[in-house]
Amino acid sequence: MASSDAFKVSSLKDKVTLITGASSGIGAGAAVLFARLGARLALNGRDVNNLAKVARECEDCGACKPLLVPGDLTDETTVKKTVEQTVAHFGRLDVLVNSAGILAMGSIETTDLAQYDKVMNVNVRSVYHLTYLCVPHLIKTKGSIVNVSSVNGQRSFPGVLAYCMSKSAIDQFTRCVALELASKQVRVNSVCPGVIITEVHKRAGLDEEQYKQFLEKCKVTHALGRPGEVEEVAHAIAFLASDAATYITGVNLPVDGGRHAMCPR
């Protein structure tokens, strides 16, 4: 295949894509990139104002006006409504990007059941439920799913116990569902980011000084010597979702500057 053809097939033009967590961080970055690549977007997020801003950015890229389906995906009615509205509006679904997630600090000594349930409900249960409802539509289009996991699902870190457990669950979910849907030609993959510059760590409780020190430490915890940018993860998501990755399924792809390969010295 000529290189020019390869670039054409990697386009997401006109692919109906539902992106969760699209009001900030990696989800927002993915939404803008998919818009630039010509996708038709349904965007979910909890922050309605931010979601509207992201939608305007998408339109500024020349994309069709995104369908906004805001709401908390831990609410089962919201999940059902999100899928129903997306399919009713576009008539089909080609790509699901599960990007919604939260980070919470805490160890086995400090993470109570309420915090554990909150993390698992957002990061795992809602992903399971949304995917379950989207699968019949993705089978019709032989579509693809990209889950946003983390290096925390592949490597062990103290102080973020529930989060690490939730991302390990997403990695296994990705591999199992990939095998279950392979015969239907639906591909399922995940990206596993390292530290990416977003607001997620501040929302988890780090103040400005702590966050500054945290990013500084990335110079030694990541082989490339820096934290990552949202767009770098978005490009990996777009690749896995696109026709450039038609023979890739069941992959948990590190996008972490080499952090997964690091060992203490």
One-letter amino acid for residue 24 of the chain: S
**E strands, the chain, in order:** 16-19, 40-43, 67-68, 95-98, 144-148, 187-193, 252-255
Distance CA(110)–CA(102), nearest Å, equals 17
Conformational region of residue 55, where left means phi above 0, alpha means psi within -120 to 50, and beta covers everything else: alpha
Q: Who's near 202: CB < 8 A, 6+ residues apart? A: 208, 211
163 is catalytic: yes
Q: Is residue 168 within a helix (H) or strand (E), and if so which, with residue range? A: helix 161-181
Phi, psi of 95, deg, nearest 5: -140, 135
Q: Which residue has the tokens 């038609």?
A: 246
Q: Among the options 116, 128, 132, 163, which is catalytic?
A: 163
Question: Do 121 and 176 contact (CB within 8 A), yes or no?
Answer: no
Catalytic residue IDs: 163
